[in-house]
């Protein structure tokens, strides 16, 4: 799953 508030993509 993805880490919340860790969006490294643009």
Partner 1 sequence: MNVFRLTGDLSHLAAIIILLLKIWKTRSCAGISGKSQILFALVFTTRYLDLLTSFISLYNTCMKIIYVGCAYATVYLIYAKFRATYDGNHDTFRIEFLVVPVGGLAFLVNHDFSPLEILWTFSIYLESVAILPQLFMISKTGEAETITTHYLFCLGVYRALYLFNWIWRFYFEGFFDMIAIVAGVVQTILYCDFFYLYVTKVNAVQRFQ
Binding mask 1-10 for partner 1 (x = CB under 8 A): xx-xxxxxxx
SS3 content of the chain, % helix, strand, coil (to 5): 0, 0, 100
Total number of residues that touch partner 1 (CB under 8 A): 9
In the complex, the smallest distance separating the C-beta of residue 7 from partner 1, rounded to whole angstroms, is 6
Residue 9: exposed, middle, or buried by beta-carbon count in 10 A (0-12, 13-18, 19+)?
exposed
In the complex, the smallest distance separating the C-beta of residue 6 from partner 1, rounded to whole angstroms, is 8
Site residues, partner 1 (CB under 8 A): 1-2, 4-10
């Amino acid at each position: 799953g993805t880490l919340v508030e860790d969006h490294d993509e643009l």
